[in-house]
Amino acid sequence: MGRPAKFTREQLQQAALALVDADGLSGLTMRALASRLETGAMTLYNYVSQREELEMLVVEAVLGKVRWETDDRLPWHEALEDIAIALWRVIRDHPHVIPLILTKRSRSPAVFEVTEALLHTLAQSGRSGARLLVGFRAVSALIMGAAQAELAGPLTLQADESPDDTIARFQALPADRFPHLIEIATAATASDAETEFRASLSLLIDGLRADAPAAQA
């Protein structure tokens, strides 16, 4: 009989995700993971053999946290909203993982599950084929883009700068040249990420409902 496994897959996933959360994708190495698990790098080769497997561990660790209700009695747009918000919340907590989700989505069963759930709700609107694809791309782009916007958007904080200082910097721009940029900077003082995402999602869903077959809207 072989020796029992020293680490569970969940332990490997959580340790790998912690590295990415702390140090970004560049921090995900076999040596760093071994150090976090207090073992030798060679030991880890019994579990993962290459970087792609490390990256898959991280993707599965994040998407495995997404929880949603499956209830076909709900109107399709309400079910879509529930899944999209659940997915956004999890991804927002781990924004460094977004590039991995985008590049590994064709290989991860965890991606398949939540993708199929989103597609199921959109299919209930009467969409199929290319229209189903376009609807899905629109929803997934909003989820990923909104999560990334806090890191890379126009109001992103600079190093050692407070939120108030960042907003004040935009408000100090010449008003005749940048009136709308100043306007959204000011609006940001009374906004928060989830409120903005929900509002953006509502706009998108309104468009999807308007474009759905009349009987399904």
Residue pLDDT, tens place only, 93-108: 998 999 998 888 777 7
- The pLDDT value given to residue 121: 95
In a domain, 1, yes or no: no
93 and 37 in a common domain = no
Q: Identify the three-state secondary structure at position 170.
A: helix
169 and 129 in a common domain = yes
- The pLDDT value given to residue 21: 93
CA distance 182 to 168: 9
Flag whether pLDDT at 4 surpasses 50.
no
pTM, two decimals, is 0.84
The end-to-end CA distance of the chain, in Å, is: 59
Domain span holding position 180 = 68-211
In a domain, 216, yes or no: no
86 and 25 in a common domain = no
CA distance 113 to 107: 12
In a domain, 54, yes or no: yes
97 and 169 in a common domain = yes
In a domain, 3, yes or no: no
- The pLDDT value given to residue 216: 65
149 and 164 in a common domain = yes
Whole-number Cα distances in Å, 134 to 41, 104, 158, 208:
44, 20, 35, 10
**Confidence class of residue 214 from pLDDT cuts 50, 70 and 90?**
low
Mean per-residue pLDDT over the chain, rounded: 87
In a domain, 217, yes or no: no
How many domains are there within the chain?
A: 2
Mean pLDDT across the stretch 199-210?
96
80 or 160: which carries more pLDDT confidence? 80
74 and 22 in a common domain = no
Mean pLDDT across the stretch 49-57?
88
110 or 174: which carries more pLDDT confidence? 174
165 and 204 in a common domain = yes
- For the stretch 132-187, pLDDT in tens is 999 999 999 999 999 887 765 445 545 566 777 888 888 899 999 999 989 988 88
28 and 120 in a common domain = no
In a domain, 39, yes or no: yes
Last residue of a domain, one of 48, 63, 78: 63
